[in-house]
Amino acid sequence: MQYPVNEIFETLQGEGFYTGVPAVFLRLQGCPVGCAWCDTKHTWHCDPELKVDAEQVIGVSGDKGHWSQWPLSALVAHLTSGQYTARQLVITGGEPCLYDLTPLTEAMSEAGWQCQIETSGCFQVRCDANTWVTVSPKEGMKGGLAIQPQALTRANEIKYPVATEQHIDNLKALLATLPDGATPVVALQPISQRPRATKLCIEQCIANNWRLSAQVHKYLQID
C-alpha cells in the first residue's frame, strides 16, 4: 500500500471537535470534488512533474503541489519515530478517502495514536473502527459528486461549511437521511470567516444545539 503525500507537519487542530489538540497532519494529494472556495487547490492533481523525494514533504509547506509516494511501512515508521510529541494523526487532503486508509489507521491505532479523517463525504470511508471520521459534506461542487450514505453513516462528526440559509436547509436535509440512532457531532463552519456567515452560524448553533467550528488556526495565524 502506498499513499501520495503532499505534506506532513505538526501543529494544533484548528477546526471541529478536536480544536486545540496537538496533531500531526498528513495531507494526501488528489481530489476531484472541486470546491470553489478550496484553500488547498494545489492538492487536486498528482502531477508527475511535481513528484519529489520523501524528505521534501516533511515539515514544509505543500502549497506548490509537490507530492511524494510513501509506502505504508515507511510512513508508519516516520510517524512513530519519536520526532513528534502529538499522538493525534489528522489525515486530510485533497480527498483522503480516495485511498484505503484501513492499513494506515490500524497501524497507527496499534501504535497508540488517535486517528482522524477529514473528508468531503463523496467517497466511501475505509478505516479502522477507532478512527474519528469528520465529514464536511460538499454538495453541488464542480466535480459533480454525490455525498455517499456510507460516509454520512460512518461520520462521528459532520462539519458543515455555511455561507447562507440555503446551506442550513441543505444540512438539515442531509441529517434527515441518517439512520435512527445516529448522533454525530454537528459543527457549523463559516465559509471564509465572513461576518454574515459567522453570525448565521452562531444563531443556528444556539437554535439547534450544534457546535461552532471557527477555524481557530486562521485567527491565530498558525499553519
Q: Cite the annotated binding site by residue number.
A: 12-14, 27, 31, 35, 37-40, 92, 94, 136-138
- Please count the other Cβ atoms lying within 10 Å of the Cβ belonging to residue 125: 21
Alpha-carbon dihedral 60, 61, 65, 67, rounded to 10 degrees: 20
Binding site listing for Mg(2+):
40
| Distance (Å, whole) CA 208 – CA 223 | 31
Binding site listing for [4Fe-4S] cluster:
31, 35, 38
Alpha-carbon distances, residue 203 vs 119, 158, 184 (angstroms): 26, 18, 20
| Distance (Å, whole) CA 43 – CA 30 | 6
Binding site listing for S-adenosyl-L-methionine:
37-39, 94, 136-138
Cell numbers 512513530 correspond to what residue? Answer: 80
Helical residues (DSSP H) of the chain, grouped into ranges:
72-79, 102-110, 149-154, 165-175, 195-208, 216-220
Alpha-carbon distances, residue 137 vs 36, 123, 129, 131 (angstroms): 14, 11, 21, 18
Binding site listing for substrate:
12-14, 27, 92
